Every structure is written in structure tokens, then in C-alpha cells.
Structure 1
Amino acid sequence: MRKLRLIGLTLLALNVSVMAHAEEKRYVSDELNTWVRSGPGDNYRLVGTINAGEEVALLQTNSDTSYGQIRDNSGRTAWIPLKELSNDPSLRTRVPDLENQVKTLTDKLNNIDATWNQRTAEMQKKVSQSDSVINGLQQENQTLKNQLIVAQKKVNAANLQLDDKQRTIIMQWFMYGGGVLGVGLLLGLILPHLIPSRRRKDRWMN
């Protein structure tokens, strides 16, 4: 009976020294491999190794020996020094993730470059088209200016011709007026001499 009590007390003490925790995710350190044991201490036998960087589940810890009980991906349970565990994923796990992130960012940058190049080409095309339109408008403007200059010269020439015709007409009217005036003066001088001679002739006939 005493032996059973002693065994019970021993198991109770062991349970007290082993602190139970909820299952937590941990990662094995980035060593080539890590030895695991059958119990929470260096005095327990080795039961195998675990791969570096492997994800394991932390079941409980022993604060006296700084060991933790883990379960690996195959379901095997063993004890491992807590210093060999990490809260962060190992480089073995992070490197592929980082490579994927780099690839994703590289693809995005390539897409941005392609989009930017396409937009730049479109803008250059629009600018080129605008330059063509501007050049066409400038040429059309210059053509209209040349036509305006020619029209102004024609108008000036027509005005000169009109002035010459007006002067010619005025001169003709002066000439006609002078001719009429001259004829009137001649008639005025001749008629008085013709009328008395007729009267004399009429008197002599009587």
C-alpha cells in the first residue's frame, strides 16, 4: 500500500512539474536535423530526429528541463529542447514564400511597365496626331492669308480702274457740256443777225 502511495505521489509530482499547455504551432530550428527524446530531459533515450524547419505541434512544456513535447506531421510524439523551437516559420519555409512574393511583385512590375509603355505609346500617337492637325490648320491658315492678300490686290486694282472710269466719264460730261455751251453761244451770236435781215426784206416787199 505504501508503495502504491509512493508511486502515486511520484506521478503527481511529475504531473506538477510538467506544465500542460494547449496545442500550439512551432517550427524546428534551421539545423540539419534535431534529436528528439522519449522524455523531458537529456537522460531520456533518443528516439530519432526531426527535419529542420518542419512544422510541429507543441503539446506541453517542462519548465525544469526546458523541454517541450511535440507532435510531428506523421503523428509521432516526442520531446525536444525548447531552444530548438521557434514561433516563426523557418527559412526553409519562408524562402519559397519570399520567392513567390518576389515573383508576384515582378509580374506586377512587368504588367505596370507594359501598361505604362502602352499608355506612353498611345499618348505619343495622340500627340503626333495633334501635331498633324495643327500643321494642317497652320497650312490652311497660310493659304487663307495668301488668298486674302490676292483678293485685296484685286480689290485695289478694281478701285483704280473704277477711279479711271469715273474720271473718264466726268471728262466726257465736261466735254459734252462745253460743246453744248459753245453751240449755244454760236446760235446766240448768229440768230440776232438772221432775224433783222428777214424783217428788212419783208418791208421792201411791201
Structure 2
Amino acid sequence: MFNLKQFIIASLLLISFTIFAEEPADTTPANPPQPNGYISDNLYIFMHTGPSKNYRILGSVDAGTPITILSGAEDGFVQIKDDKEREGWVESKFITTEAGLKQQLENLNQTLVDTQTALNDAQQQLPILQQNNTNLLAENVALQETISGLEQQLQDERLSQQQKVQKEQHQLLTYGGIIGISGIIIGVILTLFLSRRKRYDGW
């Protein structure tokens, strides 16, 4: 009876262990809270395990360290999480929502690095942009020369066409004059010829 009892207990424990082992673990990491405060510009402050100096000291937090405020003030202390993922209590008078000089200096240094990087990139791009500008200027000059050539060609064609029209008009006038003079001469000749013929007929 005793062995049967032990066997049943062992079986139940084994089944329970198997069920818990088969349950998938939630490996989705929770979104960590974002820093929403800073340690003010003192050398450093102590972090305690509770909202009082009587609690054990967990360690120190440097000035300007970005922190996450976890709870409101309690007896002049605020629960925080520092940049090392430590949770503890610090005096609320050392908490500020504005970045301290240290953090501001780090931000300015990072801005300086970013600006210098952008400047270096711009300096590397400058020769390429200058070459592109030179190429565009050369293309512009070539296009202007082409336009000037086409305008001159158009002007020459217009002048040639005008001269051709004037020449044709002159030729028409010349032909008309010749025809007119020829008609007059022929008329005179016919008149003389007919008058002489009448004279001969009168004899």
C-alpha cells in the first residue's frame, strides 16, 4: 500500500512537471520604460533599498545619469531605475527632469560628432558637385552655340528666300517690259507695213 501511494504521488508529480514543461514560455520582451528624469549635478548620490536613508545602500548613481522614475515621492524619496538596470530609492531633491551639465555635454559632443560627419560627407561630395556644375555649364554653352547657329541658319534662309522672291519679281518685271516693248515694236512695224501697202494700192 505504501509503495502504491508513492507511485501515485510520483506519477502525479511527473505529469505536472510534463504539463508545465510543455507550456510555451512567453519570450516576448516587454518594452522597457524610457528614461524620464536625471540625477542633478552633484558628484554622486546613494541609492537605497527603501524610501529612507535607514535602508541598505545599493550603490551610488553619478550626476547627470538618465533614470526612469518608477513611483512618486514617498518621505522625500523616489523609486528609480538607473542606467545599470538597478532599482532603488534616492532622495527626490536630487531628481530633475532636465538634463544636467554632464548629459548636456554628452549631447553636445554627439551633436558635434554628427555635424563633423555631415561636414566630411559634404566635403567629399563637393568635388562631385563642382564637376557636375562644370559639366552643366559646358552643356549650357554648347546649347547656346547650337541655338545661335540655328538662329543664324534661319536668318540666312529667310534672307535667301527674300532675295529669291525679289529676283523672281525682277524677272517678271523684266519679262513684262520686254513683252511690252516687243508689242510696241511689232505694232509700229505692222502700222508702217499696212500704211505702205495702202499707199501702193492707191497707185
More strand by share: 1
Higher CA-based Rg = 1
**TM-score calculated relative to the size of structure 2:** 0.46
**TM-score calculated relative to the size of structure 1:** 0.46
